Structure 1
Amino acid sequence: WFAVRRAIPKGYGVRLLALLALGGFQGALGWYMVQSGLVNRTEVSHFRLSAHLISALLIFAGCIWTALDLRTEARTGTHSPARLTGLSIAVIGALAVQILLGAWVAGLRAGQVASSWPLMNDHLVPEGIDWSSGPLFALAHDPYLIHFVHRWWAWGVAVLLILFAQRVKLLLRPASIAINAALGTQILLGISTVMSGIALPLAAAHQAVGALLLASVVWGAHAIGDNRPHLTLKIAG
């Protein structure tokens, strides 16, 4: 409809078409995920679950980035989209790994193997990890190991995000505040979810705030990658 009415700004047709295609792929992937729970067991594959989640968040992030580009273009009257910097790619990549691990924890119900924190059943490294098929297989399938890695990878991501927020603060203070607020909330929700024995409301909130954390990071990454620093500072003020 927008294309027919020539309402799509110049330079955004391919990007919006790609987002639309990703939406169709997301629907197909959703069925592929559900299908895995219709044969022999009522639980979906944690690999398909994570693929479904990551693709949804990719669309979410793409829409946010595009909206920010359009907003900036409307303010300046020039078409010059922001670019992802190496720093932003590293931070988003680390966060994506944590989100992937979280999806595996959910898919394997790995959160239920330990309801204590910071130790897992009184051990730093949990007992019960099955190494018989090798470390790589265990990393992708063993609920004890996946839960353990999800817990401790989170702290590395947290450090990266705090440093990233400091960088963003120089350009766009509201985005920096959003990153820190979402990060702190997410950490508290993660700990609370584990200690509650995976209470569904807390688990759902943990997932929702994870999406908000990604959104705030995308906002900050856009500020860093904007080719118009004078405008970024103006928005910040």
Structure 2
Amino acid sequence: MALDHLAVPAAGAGVAQATTDRLKPVRIWLYAVAALIVLMVVVGGATRLTESGLSITEWKPVTGTLPPLSEQAWQAEFDKYRQIPQYQQINRGMSLAEFKYIFWWEWGHRLLGRLIGFVFLLPFLFFLWRGLVDRALGWKLGGLFVLGGMQGAVGWWMVASGLVNRVDVSQYRLATHLTLACIILAATMAVAVSLKPVRAARPAPDWLRGYARLLFAVVLIQIFLGGLVAGLDAGLTYTTWPLMDGHLVPPVENLLVQQPVWRNFFENVLTVQFNHRLVAYVLLALALGHYLSARRVGGAPRRRALLILALVVAQAFLGIMTLIHQVPIDIALAHQFGATLVLIAATVHLVRLRQGA
């Protein structure tokens, strides 16, 4: 996903904007939307870690806004949950009070998604009415709104995978849901940053922009792999570091035990966790190499590259702590939050390089 072409004016185009910042309200609004998306990702992580995601067994985009308002309504929701495999095989005997705990997590997650939709749509229509959004920007913002709607549908597609013949959701669908959320976050930030006036545009070297694009792509790949790890509960299986089941690199026959071979990369717990570790090392090396390269350019690119490197190091540390402490919810959520910070920093850096800032 080439964010430097998504919403960014060519280097030098921002100079004309330097004397005015009429789009500042639009930019602040998009930053607020991005902050809500980050919160949504973290709450989604909490919903998964508390195993709450299957507590609401129906998708009601409108009527589902209200929670049960009577004991009879609560019992009806509980009875629906008791029909699915997760209750029958794992949570049999759960009390209504225990059900309410997981229900509130999932309901809050869905409510936050609806809130983001309103926070996006209403100001968007207002800015259109006031003439602050031209045709080109309008198409980009409209595209973001469509992606948000798709994310809601993908979320239900994910939940539906755990209602029949499974006690949890498909790791394929969970990873897709998480990655799409992060793509929307990155795209929102790219549009917002591109609206910021540039006072002294200086085109960045092509090689540095290419390096930044590579870094951004690997961050997204790592987030997808993290979704697979979460979906398989792979972080609870091999909880030592740097060795994994007694090996720095597990034996190939264990990594590729399933047939056809490609399934190991998505369904073999050992392979999925090893790939997540391996790409973390690659990302750390790329962040370091990118910073050393940006030092040759100096200025703001060097400072942003240093920030990315620091965030990647912190994220790696949180990943190791999450693993060796067997996924405690506080550290695990900090790790998920850290992933959004790395993504935001990589996105801002890529866009600003395109602007020449």
Q: How does 1:211-230 map to 2 (within 5 A)?
A: 211-226=340-355, 229=356
The 3 A distance-change label for structure 1 pair 46 and 138 is: same
Aligned mate of 2:283, from 157, 165, 172 = 157
AA at the equivalent of 2:273: H
Q: How does 1:71-86 map to 2 (within 5 A)?
A: 71-72=196-197, 85-86=209-210
Q: Is the 8 A contact 1:168 1:220 kept in 2?
A: no
1:42 matched residue in structure 2: 167
1:209 matched residue in structure 2: 338
Question: Could you tell me how far apart the structure 2 residues matched to 1:180 and 1:132 are?
Answer: 36
Secondary structure in 1 aligned to 2:130? Answer: coil
Secondary structure in 2 aligned to 1:72? Answer: coil
Q: Percent identity?
A: 32
AA at the equivalent of 1:123: H
2:266 matched residue in structure 1: 140
2:217 matched residue in structure 1: 93
- Does the alignment pair 1:181 with 2:310? yes
Secondary structure in 2 aligned to 1:120? Answer: coil
Question: Could you tell me how far apart the structure 1 residues matched to 2:272 and 2:145 are?
Answer: 33
Normalising by structure 1, report the TM-score: 0.85
Question: Could you tell me how far apart the structure 1 residues matched to 2:142 and 2:291 are?
Answer: 31
Worse-matched range after superposition: 6-15 or 102-111 = 6-15
AA at the equivalent of 2:275: V
2:322 matched residue in structure 1: 193
Aligned mate of 2:153, from 25, 28, 32 = 28
Question: Could you tell me how far apart the structure 2 residues matched to 1:209 and 1:113 are?
Answer: 22
Question: Could you tell me how far apart the structure 2 residues matched to 1:62 and 1:28 are?
Answer: 19
Question: Could you tell me how far apart the structure 1 residues matched to 2:250 and 2:173 are?
Answer: 26
Normalising by structure 2, report the TM-score: 0.58
Secondary structure in 1 aligned to 2:128? Answer: coil
Deviation at 1:181, TM superposition (A): 2.0
Secondary structure in 2 aligned to 1:11? Answer: helix
Greater relative contact order structure (CA < 8 Å, 6+ sep): 2
Q: How many residues are aligned here?
A: 222
Deviation at 1:125, TM superposition (A): 3.2
Secondary structure in 2 aligned to 1:116? Answer: coil
Question: Could you tell me how far apart the structure 2 residues matched to 1:157 and 1:148 are?
Answer: 14
The 3 A distance-change label for structure 1 pair 125 and 40 is: same
2:177 matched residue in structure 1: 52
Computed over aligned residues only, the root mean square deviation of the Cα atoms, in angstroms, reads 2.3
List alignment gaps of at least 5 residues for structure 1: 233-237
Question: Could you tell me how far apart the structure 2 residues matched to 1:72 and 1:104 are?
Answer: 39
The 3 A distance-change label for structure 1 pair 176 and 143 is: same
The 3 A distance-change label for structure 1 pair 67 and 137 is: same
Question: Could you tell me how far apart the structure 2 residues matched to 1:9 and 1:138 are?
Answer: 48
Deviation at 1:95, TM superposition (A): 1.7
Question: Could you tell me how far apart the structure 2 residues matched to 1:223 and 1:167 are?
Answer: 16
2:239 matched residue in structure 1: 115
List per-residue Cα deviations over 1:55-82 (Å, max 9, x = no partner): 1111111111111111126x68x9xxxx
Deviation at 1:155, TM superposition (A): 0.7
